[in-house]
Structure 1
Amino acid sequence: MFTGLIEHIGTVLEYIPIDSTSSGGGGVSITIGDCAPILVDVHLGDSISTNGVCLTVTEFDQEKTQFKVGVAPETLRRTDLGDLVKGSKVNLERAVTSDVRLGGHVVQGHVDTIATITKRVPDGNAINFTFELRDKQYISYIVEKGFIAIDGTSLTVTHVDHQTAQFSIMLISYSQSKVVLPLKQESSTVNIEVDLTGKLIEKQIEVNLNAQINNKDSALTRLIESIVEKKLQELK
């Protein structure tokens, strides 16, 4: 679990499509450097959020200034990690510990989809970004003034257009030097993780409704039967 408060910006040192080493696992691996400050207490097998994606550390260099992660095919389909190249900057956050203040929101590091930056407009000392989701269905979980994780950064939604599957956020001056978003221009992509709360509520409602519909003695079934009976009586 993460908070969405980025600790450090790292640099991609190597992207290997087929890494046959023991730490590469025979698939895609990414080596990220310039990140010694956050590796002090990190061990092999620990999780680090990399541009919002929860990845497992598989290797360190001898000085512990860089680390390697493997990337699964499903992760490549869901995220834009496959677009990273040598020199790309990435947001990094270690998994939370029990004594961490939750200054952002609960972020799983399980990216739902990607979005494209459609507009980037200065607003005083802030920047207003507008995004369009690749997978439109996720707009249902995005609400104005709600939380969203963009490349792992916990941000507040300022506007939502459910018809176009677009939403906006405001990036304040302080955050602009702490995350990678200001480095991206219009048409660039970002990783999106919607707030888990909306998905949990939707699932619970769906399960509850199905259970009541399939139970002939449930309150919902009786209510529907009552309404239908009343309408039939009105038609007589």
Structure 2
Amino acid sequence: MAVAQLNLSKNQVFTGLIQGLGTLQPIGADKLQITCSAAASGVILPELAIGDSVAVDGVCLTVVEILTQGFIAVMSPETSDRTILGRRSGACVNLETSLRVGSKLGGHFVTGHIDGIGYLQDAIQTATSWEMTFTTDDPRVARYLIPKGSIAVNGISLTVADCDPSGHRFMVAVIPHTYGATNLQYLRPGSPVNLEGDILGKYVEKFLRLAPESQPLTTDRLTSAFLVEHGYL
């Protein structure tokens, strides 16, 4: 049983519920030093071990060294190219440790593999939330955006309140708690963000694409049994 738990806990899956904030400092071309805030240190560091995965602004990184108030993680060339981490010295970043067996899944399944970059267009405060509109030119993100679907913005699990038909412009309604507990509060029009589309949409797209022409995959065939058979549930 212990071995099974260990394997499952290393799946490197996150929930999109941010546990705290940190400050990012690049070290050379392939490492990042993350200093945890006082509040985040008590949540992130106590059980953190070398080799663990931490989502830093939604990017899954591997811890290679643990510091008194933070940690050092490695960053691959692809991570540097596809995300905004390597260009943000001194930036405030969202932090979340990987999902452990038995933990609550309060957001949605976030893999930590960024699809592309987006930009804040505007943020309007209403009586109950912040309505934040983002744009992206990356089709790897836009193709998975639908109204009421899920999107991870800098690692934060959010619901798409509305989007244009192409998915290149979308709006999310952020409750005050999430806004104040994450780095969304520091974004200004034009600020870049990491975006990850919902993994469910990616699986559905693949099933539809690979369905035999003689047996096209229609909605009546996309059942729970079908997903189990193909390894999703």
Q: If the length of structure 1 is used for normalisation, what is the TM-score?
A: 0.81
Runs of 4+ with >2 A deviation:
none
Report the counterpart of residue 223 of structure 1 in structure 2.
Answer: none
Alignment of 1:1-236 (within 5 A): 1-12=13-24, 14-16=25-27, 18=28, 27-34=29-36, 35-37=40-42, 38-61=44-67, 63=68, 65-86=69-90, 88-163=91-166, 165-208=168-211, 211-212=212-213, 218=214
* Deviations, residues 187-214 of structure 1 (Å, cap 9, x unaligned): 0011000001111111111111xx33xx
CA contact (8 A) 1:55 1:70 kept: yes
Query: Structure 2: 5+ residue runs without aligned partners?
Result: 1-12, 217-233
Rg (Cα) greater in structure: 1
Amino acid at match of 1:141: Y
Cα distance between partner residues in 2 of 1:126 and 1:53: 26
1:23-48, Cα deviation, whole Å (9 max, x unpaired)? xxxx4211111242211101000000
SS of the aligned residue for 2:204 comes to helix
Aligned to 2:231: none
Moved more, 165-174 or 132-141: 132-141
Residues 115, 140 of structure 2: 8 Å contact kept? no
CA distance in 2 between partners of 1:95 and 1:173 (Å): 24
**TM-superposed deviation, 1:138:** 2.6
For 1:164 and 1:180, the matched residues in 2 are separated by 23
Q: Using the alignment, how far apart are the partners of 1:82 and 1:197 within structure 2?
A: 28
CA separation in 1, counterparts of 2:95 and 2:215? 49
Letter in 1 for 2:146: V
Residues 95-122 of structure 1 show CA distances to partners (whole Å, capped at 9, x for unaligned) of 0111211110000001100101112111
Distance 1:164 1:100, change over 3 A: closer
Distance 1:126 1:206, change over 3 A: same
Deviation at 1:177, TM superposition (A): 1.6
Query: How far off its partner does 1:164 sit?
Result: 6.7
Matched positions, count: 200
Distance 1:168 1:188 in 2: 15
The 8 Å contact of residues 116 and 134 in structure 1, kept in 2 or not, is answered as no
Once the two structures are TM-superposed, the CA of residue 137 in structure 1 deviates from its matched residue by 4.7
The more displaced of 116-125 and 149-158 is: 116-125
Matching residue of 1:228: none
- CA RMSD in angstroms comes to 1.5
How has the CA–CA distance of structure 1 residues 169 and 44 changed in structure 2, closer, same or farther, with 3 Å as cutoff?
Answer: same
The aligned amino acid for 2:16 is G
CA contact (8 A) 1:139 1:162 kept: no
| Identical positions, percent | 34
